[in-house]
Every structure is written in structure tokens, then in C-alpha cells.
Chains A and B, each alone.
Chain A
Amino acid sequence: MSDALIMAGRSLRLSARSPEALLTALMLPVMLMVVFVYLFGGAVDIGTKYVNYVAPGVLLLCAVTGAATTAVTVCQDMAGGIIDRFRSLDVSGPAVLAGHVTASLLRNFVSTLLVIAVALGIGFRPHSSVGAFAAALGVLLLFVAAASWFAAAFGLLVRAPEAANSAMFFLMFFCYASSAFVPVRTMPTWLRGFAAHQPATPVTETIRGLLLGHSHPLPLGAALAWCLGIGLVSMGSAAVLFRRRTA
């Protein structure tokens, strides 16, 4: 446990010194928010103010890009000699991985606050109580944790850090093919079934509902089940993959 915290501190320090990680954590979210609201916002007509619709979606997109960084950092650790040092210091595999995931959570917490600030600056107007706001943040962070564990497992599966980067595209695809940016009903029929039932949609809908104070029932159960499911399966796979890689 304390090893995981030391590893998290290390991981945060390393990302603070990596221009790429900083860009992904701080610049990208701001850019995405601006792009979606100003560039696409004019073309999308969904009956409400688009910034209100899309801000939760951008939060989700930023969360997955941030979480995907975990795949690269885990992969880099495995490729370099440092993992041998950690192992010979008797640091367990799960502790190393948990360190990366914890750091990812903290990085994403900061990015999320930044995205919300930018969104508020360009016209996003949430209607939620403090409790609902905190709940939305909680669901988002649970999603980040699940996506980070998934990315950690992915980073153990591939050998090259460049390949690990493709975890980002995989995760982003789920965001785009969900209700994050446009309602599912506007999608072509063949995509609708997938879009409505894949994890990103209930997560987005829950966060959006909590932030905008929707009165209709939220798919909170589905969102939590997906996050816990993905998180636990990824965690288990990561532990197995780590043991296989270091056998």
C-alpha cells in the first residue's frame, strides 16, 4: 500500500516533467472543449444549448485520453530496466500498477477541474446541487479508474510504448460512438444499437443528468456496473499479464 503511494508520487513527478503528458493533461482538454463548442457547435442542432449538451461529453473524452497515458507509462516501465529494480526491491506488480493508476486519477482530477472551468467560461450552465455535482465527479473518476486499469493492462500487453499509445484511439472510439457528442437517435440505425448499449453512453448520460439536473431517471446503475466491471476485469488481467511478463 505504501509502495503504491510512493510509486504514485513518482509517476506524478514524471508526468509533470514530460511535455507530452502535460499537454495531454492540460492543453488537450481545453482545445477539445473549444473545438467542440465553437467549431461543431454551430452545425449541431439538438434543441438545447450545445455547450450544455457537450460539456459532459468533453469531460469524458478528456478522461479517456488522460487515462490512456497510463498505457504508455506502464509500457515504458516494462520496457526499461527500472521494473527489475522495483522487483528486486520487492515492490509487487500490483503496487507498481496501482501507482500509475493513482497518478492517472490525480492528473485527471486536475484536468477535469480545468475543463469545467473552461466550460463555465464559454457558457456552460449546470443546474445541479452540490451533492449532484459531487456525484457526477465521483462517477467520472470511477470511470477514469476503470479506463486507467484497462490502459494499464493494455500497456502490459503490447511491447512498444508507441503501440501502447493506441489504447487512446481505442478508448476514444467508445466516446465518439456514444451519446457524448450527439444524441444516439441522430446516428445511423446500424450504429444505434451499439451506441446505446456500450459503456460510454450510460456514463455520459449519468454525468450529464447529474450536472444539468435532469428529472428523468438516470442510468446510474448501468454506469456503475460498467465501471466496476471493466475496472475489476482489467485489474485482474493486469495482474495476470504482469506475472506473465515477469515470469
Chain B
Amino acid sequence: MPPTDYDVVIIGAGPAGSTTARFAAASGLRVLLVDKRQELGAPIQCSGAISRHALEQVGIAPEAEFIHEAIYGFAIYDQHGDREVHDYRRLKPDEYGSEPGKKPLGYVVDRRRFDRYLMTQAERAGAEVWLKTEGLGYRPEADGYCTVSLRRYNQAIDIRTRILVGADGLQSQVGRWAGLQTHIKITELAGCLQFIVDRVETEGLLEIVTGHEWAPGGYAWVFPKGHGYAEIGLGVIATMTDRPARWHLDKFITQSFFRERFADCRILEVQGGGVPLAAPLRTQYADNLILVGDAARHVNPITGGGLHTAVAGGKIAADYIIGHLADGLPLQDGALEGYQRLWLEELGDKMWKLYGIKTDIFHNMNIPERDRQLYATMADYFSPTSEFKKI
């Protein structure tokens, strides 16, 4: 009998966990992927914007099953409604468009279907997947492996594994099990609320509205959601306002320069969540354990986007695990530090740089000046010449 039940146990079947599971299982490792939910992705806590490049990079085909709508560019607004548009259908007409032979820049995906699709791919690659299964804790053992405690349909189960991956999202408990410093500062977690609406026109662009007036500490957005629907949302930093996100979203809808555009809107769904506009965790590994995705705060601190970094990070985590286990290296006493180094090299260093840019903007206490900086930074970030185009 092998000394462990699995080589890798992954807690959380979001984009990060399922991508890690898919690559690890495809290499022949024995992988168990668990999620406490009954339906992945639900309730939705995400707007679903992801670039085509991000999908391609990790071998995810753009399937109709999970795509709400194709995206061709960005429109960035200042607080008065002046805007800068980067429409790739005009910038690179030979490459981007909806006509045959041309492609979109990205997609707005349905997280319920997207997450289920990614889980299915992991399953088909050979991973075992258990839904309705909550991770409760883990214990590194003297023999170099570890025991993970799960609860599945009320039944307590202990599993022995070589590596545990915490892919349990923003509310991550796995890092806390290992005593890692996972706390997010209140000044760096945006409280977000969004409505899926009918009767708001969109133009195949992700629209981003900056300005303290509308979203103190964050920004507001209008995304196309397919079938003629749109998504209106915003995120705010609690220390920059006395009001909850909901109050700001009502104000944005009824008082902003978009009030006429939104005048007839009908709310079809209400969603929300927290977005860390924070630095990645300084330590993302412990004995037998690594963290990936939101659990490691792998989120772009300028845009709040975490889907690209979740799937890209999932691949990095899997590549690392495959190599490390194949070499039969130790798993405890700092032995997994190489994961973090690999991640920093491939993604993290750029994210630290973005964190620096973001921090400089929000440390400016002069609001009109800060508004100008944020608008300029966002407009530049999404431009075709941006050095960060690929995150």
C-alpha cells in the first residue's frame, strides 16, 4: 500500500484549484479536489472578465458553455464622464473583431458555468472531485506527509497526502491553519456590489468609471453580460467612506453621468464580494502546504482581477508540485519555498510593482489629484502599449 491516499489534495475548486488539479492529474499524480459548495461558482462573487490570452496560456478553450459575451476593448471614464477608449476593433482591425478569422480580446464568463467547466476538465484529466466536502484542518506528520481533515455530507474523513494546496479563495482558512500571516488590511479590501440588469446598452467594451465621487478607494464598472444584459457594479474602501457599497451603487445608478442610460434598468441578480487590492502574501507555503489564487492574494491590485492570476498561478503551482514530487524532495521545514520563488519570477514580481503604483495613488490625500492619477493610470494600464498588458 502506498504511504498516502493521494499525492495532492486541493481545497477549493475555483479557477485556481481546478487548474492546479488539471495539470497535476494530467501528469499522473493522484489528485483529490474538494469543494464545500453544491454548485461551483454560486452564489456568484465575480464579474467574470478574463482575457483570451489568459485562457489560451493555460489551455482553456473558449467554450460557448461558459461565455456570456466577447469583449473587444476598454472604455475608461473620469468622474465627469469624459472617457478614453481602447477599442481593439479599431486599433488592430485585421486581428480583432467578431467577423470570421478575427478574434476577441477577452470574454465575460458565467462563473457558475466556468467553474464547473474547469472542474470537469480536471476530472477528465484524472483528478477525483468531491463536492459538498469542507476542509477543516491539516496536520503535518513526523513521517514527512500530512493528514487533512474533511467533512463530506456530515461524515468526518481523514486523508493522507504528500502536498496540500489551499485554493480556498478570499476567505481562505487553509493559510490560517498553518499559522501564515493572511490578514488583509481594511484599507486594502474593497467591498463590492453588482447588479445584473436588463435595459442597459453596451458596446462590447469593459467600461471602468474612476473617481472618488462614485467609488471611493475603488472604481465602478459596466460590463456586457450577453443576451442584452449588462452588469453594473462598484467596489469601495471602507475607510474612505461612511456608507456601504450598496449606497454608493444606488448613487452611481441614479446620480452619475450615466443616470439617463440606467434610468430604465431592471435588476435581475444581486452579487457581491471582497476584492483584495493588496500585495501577494509574503509567505505562501508551509509544511506540506502551498497557497494559490485569492487564498494567496494573487489578485491584480490595480484592476482587482484575479481570474487570470488564479489560472496562471494554478499552472505554476502544478508545475512546481510535479517537479518537486518527481524528485522525491522533502516537504517540510521550508522545503516548499521554491514554489514561491517560481511564482514571483513568473507573475509575482509584476504584481508587487502594480501594488507599488496603486499604493502611491491612494496615499495621495488630495482627492482631485488622486482622481486624475487613477484615471491616467487606468487609461494607461489598458492601453495597447501598457507594459502590464499580459496580466
Question: Is this pair of chains taken from one and the same complex?
Answer: no
